[in-house]
Each structure stands twice: as C-alpha cells, then as structure tokens.
C-alpha cells in the first residue's frame, strides 16, 4: 500500500509508452497528425522562446541532469550499503527514478521522437537506389565528387559560425518547404565544444529544448554541412542518413560556393571510405587527383583525429550506435554513410526534376 500511487503512475506511463510504440510504426495518419499538430508548433514555440538566449539551454539541462544522475546513483549506493535501515528509501528512490525516466522518454517522443516513423527521404523523393551499393557505382560517385571538389575549391571562402548559420537558415527558407523554416531553425555553438572533440561529435539536436548544437571547434569548411544537418533535424527529419541527404542536397542546390564545397567534401569523406574498403588502388588514384586546397583540408581533419582519438571516442560511438538501433535505424551508426547511395541517386535524377524545391515529409 505504501507505493500504491507511484505504482499506478508507473503502470499508466508504461501503458502510454506501449500505446505509442504500437501505433506510430503502423499508422502513418497518426504520424502525420503528430507532425502537424504536435511537433511543428512545439518546435516553433521552443525556438521562439529559447533562441533569444545565446547560451545552449539544452547543454545546461544535460549538465544538471548528469549531476542529478550522479547524486541519485550515490544515494542508491548508500541505501544499498545500509539496506537494513534504508530498504524503504531505496525502493522509493528506485520507483521515482523509473517514473522520471519514463516521463522523459514520453517527452522525447512527443517533442521529436515521433519523426523517426516518417517515410524516409529516399522514399518520399522516389529515389532509385538500385545498384547504388555496387562497387562500380561507388567508384563512379567518388570520381564525380572529386570533380566537384576540384571545381568548387577555388571559390571556397571560410565563413564565421554566425554567417554560416544565417545563410543556412536562408537556404532552408528558399529551397525547402520545411514547416519550421520561419521560426523553428536556429543553431548554437555548444558549450561542450572541446569535449565534443574528444567524443568525435560534430553536432547534436536536443529533443527536449528543440535546439541544435554544433561543435564550434569544427573547421570552417565542415560547418555548412554540419549546420545544415542539424537544421534538418529541426525540420522534423529524424534519421541520420536523411539529415545527411538533405544537408547535401541543400548545399548542392544553394549556389553558394562555400556550401557547395562543404556538401561535396563531407559526402566524399563517406564515399571515399567505402571505396577504399573495396578498391584501395582506385581510392588512391582519386585521392591524388584532388586539388591542393582539399588535400590541405584533409590534412587538417587527419591532425584533429590523431589529436583527439581515444577510447572515450570509441565508447561514445558504441552508445550512439545502440541509441540509433533502438530508434528505428537498424544499421546504427553505419546509417550515416548510407548517404553515399542516396546522394548519388539524387544526383542521377536531379536533371529530370523541374523544381529546385526540396520537399520534406
């Protein structure tokens, strides 16, 4: 009887979570309703109220959450040591913790997680990905990207973080039908920037505050693509390969040499890694054909990777891989490099499309 109210609350939360998990994947009309009447207005409201604050509120909430988690674990350890006199406190604290986690997960799903059940961009854009994973197709795309990099590198100009963010927002307004493009897009430099270097994280979207955070220590030539990627999440694109595809298509469509270059470079990194895995000889040939500017940028990325490579990076990648698999992305962290297939499919059908508008589900 002592825990009756909390057990009832926990039961109701589990019931709600079960209902969500068994409706969103199977009823597209519910996902459409969620997108139109829950996510969009909520994302706009969060951005309008939070974007005026220069600091990342999401980062601060994660710091507070991490501190509370450590305090809670310390309390549990103390209760376990003194179990004879604190069994009631341990049970009560455990129930509170489970209820809090369930509540946070429901907020996550309502605030953004429901977007995982939208149709993929490749399906929505009716892209033909057949043969895209074949070695010959990857090699053709690598050659295409090298040619694009050599074309756009001479016109590339490094931009400040704020200028990159401003241009990305304008390109979303001009080239997409994003339902959050008027008031729901805003990217902030994360206060975890230096720590993110060690974790190998370029940016992330906070599903609780609706903020997009980017590692401001990233080289300028990486930022247009990464900022566009995080804005894709603010536009309701959940899957990482779709966010990469949209960032690529936006950069390639924009007519801005800095965004063009960043888009082709970032996707070339994914594509070239796949080509190297299947044909090292061809990969080396393509690498030698690159212009001096791109080669210097690759040297910069290599130096950063060597400086910050650690076991912490590997562990964070493992955790994120499990997170992605839990949320309808079966290939986990390998989802990112699927853009090599989808972006090539988009390029192949690009000339047959009569409009530059990038439609989003």
Q: Where among 93, 117, 141 does a domain terminate?
A: 117
Tracing tokens 């019931």 back to the chain, one arrives at: 15
To the nearest 10 degrees (0 to 180), the angle between helices 240-253 and 223-234 is 120
pLDDT at residue 306 in the model: 84
**Each residue's pLDDT tens digit, 1-10:** 567 888 899 9
In this structure, are 236 and 139 located in the same domain? yes
In this structure, are 98 and 234 located in the same domain? no
Instruction: Find, among 252, 278, 236, 267, the residue nearest to 341 by Cα.
Output: 267
Q: Is the pLDDT of residue 255 over 60?
A: yes
**326 φ/ψ sector (left φ>0, alpha ψ -120 to 50, else beta):** alpha
Q: Where among 70, 91, 117 does a domain terminate?
A: 117
In this structure, are 284 and 195 located in the same domain? yes
Asked whether residue 359 is assigned to any structural domain, the reply reads no
Asked whether residue 313 is assigned to any structural domain, the reply reads yes
Mean predicted lDDT score pLDDT of the chain: 87
Predicted confidence band at 324 (pLDDT cuts at 50, 70, 90)? very low
In this structure, are 107 and 20 located in the same domain? yes
pTM as predicted:
0.88
Q: Is the pLDDT of residue 219 over 90?
A: yes
Query: Domain residues for 301?
Result: 121-350
In this structure, are 196 and 132 located in the same domain? yes
pLDDT at residue 330 in the model: 55
Asked whether residue 103 is assigned to any structural domain, the reply reads yes
Asked whether residue 107 is assigned to any structural domain, the reply reads yes
pLDDT at residue 143 in the model: 95
Q: Are 203 and 215 in contact (CB under 8 A)?
A: yes
Report the relative pairing of strands 203-205 and 212-214 from DSSP bridges: antiparallel
Asked whether residue 361 is assigned to any structural domain, the reply reads no
Instruction: Give the residues across from 189 on adjacent strands.
Output: 214
In this structure, are 109 and 207 located in the same domain? no
Asked whether residue 234 is assigned to any structural domain, the reply reads yes
Q: Is the pLDDT of residue 312 over 50?
A: no
> What is the rounded average pLDDT of the residues 128-134?
69
In this structure, are 88 and 161 located in the same domain? no
Count other Cβ atoms within 10 Å, centred on residue 154: 10
Q: Comparing 198 with 289, which gets the higher pLDDT?
A: 289
pLDDT at residue 163 in the model: 96
Backbone angles phi and psi of 40, in degrees to 5: -55, -55
pLDDT at residue 42 in the model: 92
Count: domains in the chain: 2
**Each residue's pLDDT tens digit, 51-107:** 778 889 999 999 999 999 999 999 999 999 998 888 888 888 889 999 999 999 999
Q: Where among 101, 117, 133 does a domain terminate?
A: 117
Q: Are 263 and 251 in contact (CB under 8 A)?
A: yes
Cα→Cα distances 202→227, 230, 327, Å: 9, 10, 20
**Each residue's pLDDT tens digit, 221-242:** 999 999 999 999 999 999 889 9
In this structure, are 322 and 215 located in the same domain? yes
In this structure, are 38 and 139 located in the same domain? no
In this structure, are 96 and 136 located in the same domain? no
Q: Comparing 159 with 307, which gets the higher pLDDT?
A: 159
pLDDT at residue 36 in the model: 92
In this structure, are 204 and 106 located in the same domain? no
> What is the rounded average pLDDT of the residues 256-271?
94
Q: Is the pLDDT of residue 333 over 50?
A: no
> What is the rounded average pLDDT of the residues 270-288?
90
- How many angstroms separate the CA atoms of 76 and 91, rounded? 9
Q: What percent of the chain has a predicted confidence (pLDDT) above 90?
A: 56
Q: What percent of the chain has a predicted confidence (pLDDT) above 70?
A: 90
Asked whether residue 358 is assigned to any structural domain, the reply reads no
3-state secondary structure the chain: CCCHHHHHHHHHHHHHHHHHHCCCCCCHHHHHHHHHHHHHHHHHHHHHHHCCCCCCHHHHHHHHHHHHHHHHHHHHHHHHHCHHHHHHHHHHHHHHHHHHHHHHHHHHHHHCHHHHHCCCHHHHCCCCCCCCCCHHHHHHHHHHHHHHHHHHHHHCCCCCHHHHHHHHHHHHHHHECCCCCCCCCCEEECCCHHHHHHHCCCEEECCCCCCEEECCCCCCCCHHHHHHHHHHHHCCCCCHHHHHHHHHHHHHHCCCHHHHHHHHHHHHHHHHHHHHHHCHHHHHHHHHHCCHHHHHHHHHHHHHHHHHCCHHHHHHHHHHHHHHHHCCCCCHHHHHHHHHHHHHHHHHHHCCCCCCCECCC
Asked whether residue 28 is assigned to any structural domain, the reply reads yes
Q: Is the pLDDT of residue 319 over 50?
A: no
Predicted confidence band at 132 (pLDDT cuts at 50, 70, 90)? low
> What is the rounded average pLDDT of the residues 4-29?
89
- How many angstroms separate the CA atoms of 176 and 242, rounded? 14
In this structure, are 109 and 129 located in the same domain? no
């Amino acid at each position: 009887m002592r825990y009756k109210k909390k057990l009832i609350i926990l039961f109701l939360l589990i019931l709600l979570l079960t209902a969500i998990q068994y409706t969103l994947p199977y009823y597209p009309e519910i996902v459409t309703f969620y997108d139109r009447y829950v996510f969009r207005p909520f994302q706009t409201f969060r951005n309008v109220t939070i974007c005026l604050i220069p600091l990342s509120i999401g980062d601060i909430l994660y710091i507070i959450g991490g501190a509370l988690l450590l305090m809670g674990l310390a309390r549990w350890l103390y209760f376990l040591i003194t179990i004879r006199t604190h069994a009631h406190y341990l049970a009560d604290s455990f129930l509170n913790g489970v209820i809090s986690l369930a509540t946070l997960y429901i907020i996550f799903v309502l605030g953004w997680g429901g977007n995982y059940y939208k149709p993929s961009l490749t399906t929505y854009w009716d892209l033909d990905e057949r043969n895209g994973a074949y070695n010959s197709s990857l090699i053709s795309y690598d050659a295409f990207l090298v040619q694009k990099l050599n074309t756009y590198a001479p016109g590339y100009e490094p931009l400040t973080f704020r200028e990159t963010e401003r241009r990305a927002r304008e390109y979303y307004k001009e080239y997409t039908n994003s339902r959050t493009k008027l008031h729901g897009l805003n990217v902030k430099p994360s206060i975890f920037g230096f720590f993110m270097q060690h974790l190998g994280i370029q940016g992330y979207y906070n599903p609780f505050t609706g903020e997009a955070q980017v590692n401001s220590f990233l080289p300028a030539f990486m930022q247009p693509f990464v900022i566009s990627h995080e804005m894709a999440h603010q536009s309701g694109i959940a899957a990482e390969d779709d966010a990469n595809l949209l960032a690529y298509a936006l950069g390639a469509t924009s007519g801005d040499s800095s965004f063009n270059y960043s888009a082709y470079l970032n996707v070339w990194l994914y594509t070239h890694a796949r080509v190297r895995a299947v044909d090292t000889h061809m990969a080396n040939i393509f690498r030698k054909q690159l212009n001096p500017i791109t080669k210097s940028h690759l040297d910069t990325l290599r130096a950063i990777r060597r400086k910050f490579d650690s076991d912490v990076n590997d562990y964070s990648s493992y955790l994120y891989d499990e997170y992605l698999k839990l949320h309808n992305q079966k290939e986990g962290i390998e989802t990112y490099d699927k853009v090599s297939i989808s972006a090539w499919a988009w390029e192949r059908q690009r000339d047959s499309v009569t409009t530059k508008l990038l439609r989003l589900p």
